[in-house]
Structure 1
Amino acid sequence: MKSRLLLPILSILLAFTHPTHLHAQPLHRLPIKTVQDLHAYFKWSDKKQPIISGHRGGMVNGFAENSLASFENTLKYTPAFFETDPRLTKDSVIVLLHDATLERMTNGTGKLSDYTWEDLKKLRLKDIQGNLTQQRIPTLEEAIEWARGKTVLNLDRKDVPPSMTAAIIRKHKATAFVMLTVHSPEQAVYYYRDNKDLMFSAFIKNKQELEAYEKAGIPASSMIAYIGPTIKPENKELYQLLNGKRIMCMISAASSYDKLPDEPERLKAYQAIIEDGASILESDYPIDVARALNLPKAAATSSTKQN
């Protein structure tokens, strides 16, 4: 009887003396607590180090994209904010998944919108190699509460009605750490009229598109500019124009340089993006970006080789 009573106590003691508990890596948190902090963080200055955006959280063996585990793993190695993909379930719960269908990233089949949240909770996510993990699809509400005090979420535009997106940000008092990707001035105006403190990741690929946002009344202080996926000569004019208004410029390597099969070549591409003038680099491999740029607090560990 006495030995049976000792077993649970021994298990608790072992849990708190296990090496993974004693040597847990602290998270790199962004210095953002208020709306003013958010806008200051994304205000361009030639004195600032580059900012990293983890595309869908980051893609690492053992971690599924758009999962809370992936977000948290990235923050163990480098400060970053995260682009993520809200979608709507059959019963109007907002969850995070890039694809409209389930096959690529889960052990389910068919359209996500045909499933209720209770159905989706039973599914498991796959990692970058297609291996099944114990991670599940998170709700946007779960992600918002996880991100509070840690990082910023950049919500891409999928199938969630803008009114629902605005409402969930308001409900969770998350304006200081949730920003929105907008593809046009009209999209930005819808949200800006409701909440003038919001921050936008705006598609701005030329002077005319910037002028359209300005004409619509979206302040430069409320935007970063996504200017495309590649280095090209036209970027120089954009950097000068946008930086002159204190707008940071983001290049996303997710559809371009992240696809390079040779790791040294890929790391050189990340360096070239920043040398060309971009101040924000979005990537499927944010940990590798931090290594390539030799940023402070970035661990010398390749994200693509972790297990």
Structure 2
Amino acid sequence: MFRLLTLLSAIVINHSALTQNRPVATIIRELHDPASKQVLVVAHRGDWRNAPENSIRSIESAIAMGVDVVEIDLKKTKDGVLILMHDETIDRTTSGHGKPEDYTWSELLTLTLKNGHGGPTRQRIPTFEECMQLAKGRVMVNIDKGYEYYQEAYTILTKTGTVEQAIIKSDKTYEQVKTEKGNLLGGRLTYMPIINLGKPSADAIIQAYAETLKPVAYELNFSQDSLLIKSRYQIIPQTGSKIWFNSLWASLDGGHDDERSLEEGQPEAGWNWLIEHGATLIQTDHPQELIDYLRKKGLHP
């Protein structure tokens, strides 16, 4: 009987460890703490390897893993509803065909999502509002493809009380963003610039943001190590901002990607290389494996 009770107790404890995540306020505080060396994990389109991308199930699965940020994409329906969708068409990820803006929200509800292998599921396309209600108090949300819907997204974030949980971004210069969305900059909605270090203007764009907006983080993309090393990216932590790297595929990180870290079994040349070069946020297609790796190094709670 004692052994049975001990086993049941262990099961309860393990289940608790799997399902209890730190509150989003802790993640937000970590994000805005320039002195923190913890690495925040961003799940690309949720846990799309085990559930349809940009779906409620993929977000829920990523939260259960203990990720800090879930990355999503936005599109708008014919009747003005913001939905989670990456592509310009719904062909790849749903049972339908055509563009999201050709459908009303009620029409899209008749469709189902496909899994990562293109197989059918019973999951439905979620709205942005549903996404934020799910994320509320639990995880931060990075709105990737969504800059053109900045104002509508902000309205929904305000309605759901999740403004501080969202990060919105674009590859535009500070002057462009100020002209187009200036009324939303500097407020509670976090904006993050995306910098392609292969562009000749990359250093100037970083400098302009550093002197004006002082963003909480910069997303840096580079196809070769030299583009990063020769850039002025070192000024980013000096100005109190964090560095976001993508380990999704080689063209975004000089080959220090998920594939090298996992399939090739070289995490020190993959994820750790990014960490050694200043990463305090990493977006990945393998969030559970990255979390496990970071925890072994004492870089994730």
Q: TM-score, normalised by structure 1?
A: 0.77
Q: Secondary structure at the match of 1:131?
A: coil
Q: Structure 1 stretches of 5 or more lacking a match? A: 1-18, 300-307
**Matched residues in 1 for 2:176 and 2:59: separation?**
27
Task: Say if 1:77 and 1:298, in contact at 8 Å, map to a contact too.
Answer: no
Aligned with 1:197 (options 153, 176, 188): 188
**Matched residues in 1 for 2:240 and 2:119: separation?**
43
Q: Secondary structure at the match of 1:32?
A: helix
Task: Say if 1:86 and 1:98, in contact at 8 Å, map to a contact too.
Answer: yes
The superposition leaves residues 214-256 of structure 1 with CA deviations (integer Å, 9 ceiling, x where unpaired) of 45x31x2x43100115561343454421011111111112232
Task: Say if 1:64 and 1:128, in contact at 8 Å, map to a contact too.
Answer: yes
**Matched residues in 2 for 1:266 and 1:116: separation?**
47
The reply to whether residue 247 of structure 1 matches residue 248 of structure 2 is: no
**Displacement of 1:275 after TM fit?**
2.5
**Matched residues in 2 for 1:159 and 1:116: separation?**
21
2:75 partner amino acid? R
Task: Tell me what 1:16 maps to.
Answer: none
**Matched residues in 1 for 2:249 and 2:89: separation?**
20
Q: Specify whether residues 155 and 271 from structure 1 end up closer, same or farther in structure 2 by C-alpha distance, changes over 3 A only.
A: same
Task: Tell me what 1:138 maps to.
Answer: 126
1:289 partner amino acid? L
Q: TM-score, normalised by structure 2?
A: 0.79
Task: Tell me what 1:84 maps to.
Answer: 72
Q: Specify whether residues 135 and 82 from structure 1 end up closer, same or farther in structure 2 by C-alpha distance, changes over 3 A only.
A: same
Task: Say if 1:242 and 1:248, in contact at 8 Å, map to a contact too.
Answer: yes
The reply to whether residue 233 of structure 1 matches residue 226 of structure 2 is: yes
Q: Mapping of 1:246-265 within 5 angstroms?
A: 246-256=240-250, 257-258=257-258, 263-265=263-265
Q: Structure 2 stretches of 5 or more lacking a match? A: 1-10, 251-256
1:32 partner amino acid? A
**Displacement of 1:164 after TM fit?**
1.7
Q: Specify whether residues 76 and 172 from structure 1 end up closer, same or farther in structure 2 by C-alpha distance, changes over 3 A only.
A: closer
Q: Specify whether residues 281 and 149 from structure 1 end up closer, same or farther in structure 2 by C-alpha distance, changes over 3 A only.
A: same
2:93 partner amino acid? M
Task: Say if 1:271 and 1:293, in contact at 8 Å, map to a contact too.
Answer: no
Task: Tell me what 1:156 maps to.
Answer: 144
Q: Specify whether residues 266 and 66 from structure 1 end up closer, same or farther in structure 2 by C-alpha distance, changes over 3 A only.
A: farther
**Matched residues in 2 for 1:77 and 1:273: separation?**
22
**Displacement of 1:95 after TM fit?**
0.1
State the Cα RMSD in Å. 3.0
The superposition leaves residues 95-130 of structure 1 with CA deviations (integer Å, 9 ceiling, x where unpaired) of 001011112111111112111111111111112122
The superposition leaves residues 182-238 of structure 1 with CA deviations (integer Å, 9 ceiling, x where unpaired) of 2222454344523622212211344311222245x31x2x43100115561343454
1:202 partner amino acid? P
Q: Secondary structure at the match of 1:210?
A: helix
Q: Specify whether residues 140 and 96 from structure 1 end up closer, same or farther in structure 2 by C-alpha distance, changes over 3 A only.
A: same
**Matched residues in 2 for 1:73 and 1:52: separation?**
14
**Matched residues in 2 for 1:78 and 1:264: separation?**
25
**Displacement of 1:153 after TM fit?**
0.8
**Matched residues in 1 for 2:164 and 2:38: separation?**
21
**Matched residues in 2 for 1:76 and 1:144: separation?**
16
2:46 partner amino acid? G
**Matched residues in 1 for 2:264 and 2:39: separation?**
20
